[in-house]
Amino acid sequence: MIPKAGLAQVVALRDVDDVRALLDEMRVSAGGTSIMKRKALFRVVRVKGLDVRAANILKQEMLSRGGEVATSREVYEMGATEAECLIMGTLAQYERLLPKLRTQPFGLRDIADSIAAVLAHHDAHAPLFHPGLDLSRRPRIMGILNVTPDSFSDPGDHFDTDVAIEAAWRMVDEGADIIDVGGESTRPGSSRVPAEVEMQRVLPVIKALSRALPAPISVDTCRAEVAAAALEAGAFMVNDVSALRMDPEMVAVVRDAGCPVVLMHMLGEPKTMQEDPWYSNVVEDVYAFFVERLTRAVDDGVPEENLLIDPGIGFGKTLAHNLALVRHVDSFRSLGRPVVLGASRKRFLGDLLGLPEAKDRVNGTIATSVIGAMHDIDVLRVHDVRENVEAVRLTRAVFPAREN
């Protein structure tokens, strides 16, 4: 029992807005609120690849400001050259730490800039992005339109062009913000189809929809020629499950078109991706993958604001891998790019809930969408639009999106 003398309560605070609202409710002065609002938010930052001397300095500097730093044992081992740190502190402590680190040797100036960037990205309301897609309200709902005969989730449902067009309009009426049109199945074990076949499936649908559909169209492809033809036909963005790796010409297509592109993580290729997938740490490994892919894309001339990332639920992952990625999906926001979560009807939901039929996994999908909305994910890619729109609307009413 809680003692009657006084009423103690653990308060869950998500962001600066929550802190400010609580302090205002308590009638704290404006000056006090200004001082205290960043002292109430605790952040943990992991830093890898540090010079061991830098790790030692970082630890001492944060400790002197009241924070904590856990270091790998390499810091204390003779002959070690690299280490990693787990920094724990309030936003106010980081604000006092970073200027000091920028005066220190052993690469700490760059480390300070990196820490400042990931903190800013994590707490930002929305990353800078292509002006054609407004992310000031999030998450946006991307409706999945498979025009294939062999999709894992809805095989053949929209294979007919007229049926696909009707389905796209229905999804927009139900609240979809983007329609993602795909003409090649990427289900586990699937084989490639010729580019000509893929174009025959997607282009008539995209051309018809682009004339009047009030939502932008995405083309789900990893082929440059299909992407180029789809963009010419009226598509707005490209969703590439290979993150610009399968077709070396894809980067030139999206760069020259100036269009948004989703970079998705996949282990291997659809045909073999579920053959004993392994990671040392799936969240860390996928994060490192995106650092490399984003850097490569920007170096190749793709504007950073045109890039989105998708951790690739179900693409070369076990049940445990998928659950870890959903649980920690907000960690990818530290990269400063919009995050797409595509867990709709995926096999891991069926394995977990005992539902072998993909169309029976709507409730599980809704649960992942709620988790994504609570973590301020930018885009949710789903089959069942109305159900997910309603779930997101309720989640946003309870947990408003963060403000800058």
101 in the same domain as 172:
no
272 assigned to some structural domain: yes
Token look-up 């590439």 returns 240
28 assigned to some structural domain: no
Cβ atoms of residues 332 and 339 within 8 Å: yes
Over residues 235-264, mean pLDDT: 97
How many CB atoms within 10 Å of residue 339?
26
Q: What is the pLDDT of residue 298?
A: 97
> For residue 343, what are the CA distances in angstroms to 108, 347, 361, 371?
38, 9, 10, 11
227 in the same domain as 335:
yes
Domain count within the chain? 2
Q: What is the pLDDT of residue 149?
A: 76
Q: pLDDT, tens digit, for every residue of 185-204?
A: 777 776 778 889 999 999 99
Single residue among 123, 155, 185 that ends a domain in this structure: 123
Using the predicted structure, report yes or no on whether residue 6 has a pLDDT greater than 80. Answer: no
Q: What is the pLDDT of residue 4?
A: 61
226 assigned to some structural domain: yes
14 assigned to some structural domain: no
115 in the same domain as 152:
no
Residue of higher predicted confidence among 4 and 208? 208
Q: What is the pLDDT of residue 401?
A: 73
Q: What is the pLDDT of residue 404?
A: 44
113 in the same domain as 150:
no
Which of these, 192, 184, 219, lies nearest to 205 by C-alpha position? 219
Q: pLDDT, tens digit, for every residue of 125-178?
A: 667 889 888 888 889 999 999 998 766 556 656 668 899 999 999 999 999 999
Of 73-82, 147-156, 160-169, 320-329, the one with minimum mean pLDDT is 147-156
178 assigned to some structural domain: yes
Cβ atoms of residues 352 and 319 within 8 Å: yes
Q: What is the pLDDT of residue 123?
A: 82
289 assigned to some structural domain: yes
31 assigned to some structural domain: no
Q: What is the pLDDT of residue 385?
A: 98
170 in the same domain as 229:
yes
Q: How many residues does the chain have?
A: 404
Q: What is the pLDDT of residue 297?
A: 97
Single residue among 71, 89, 123 that ends a domain in this structure: 123
246 in the same domain as 212:
yes
144 in the same domain as 105:
no
180 in the same domain as 79:
no
Q: Could you give the residue numbers annotated as active site?
A: 346, 381
65 in the same domain as 113:
yes
CATH of residue 216's domain is 3.20.20.20
18 assigned to some structural domain: no
Of 4-18, 86-100, 229-243, the one with minimum mean pLDDT is 4-18
Highest-pLDDT range among 43-52, 147-156, 262-271: 43-52
Using the predicted structure, report yes or no on whether residue 56 has a pLDDT greater than 60. Answer: yes
222 in the same domain as 337:
yes
Q: pLDDT, tens digit, for every residue of 89-116?
A: 999 999 999 999 999 999 999 999 999 9
394 in the same domain as 277:
yes
Over residues 6-18, mean pLDDT: 80
Using the predicted structure, report yes or no on whether residue 82 has a pLDDT greater than 70. Answer: yes
Mean residue pLDDT of the chain comes to: 91
CATH of residue 68's domain is 3.30.1370
Residue numbers of the domain that contains 47:
42-123
Q: What is the pLDDT of residue 200?
A: 93
Q: pLDDT, tens digit, for every residue of 301-318?
A: 999 999 999 999 999 999
291 in the same domain as 159:
yes
For the sheet with 82-90, list strands across it. Answer: 42-51, 82-90, 68-71
Residue of higher predicted confidence among 3 and 175? 175
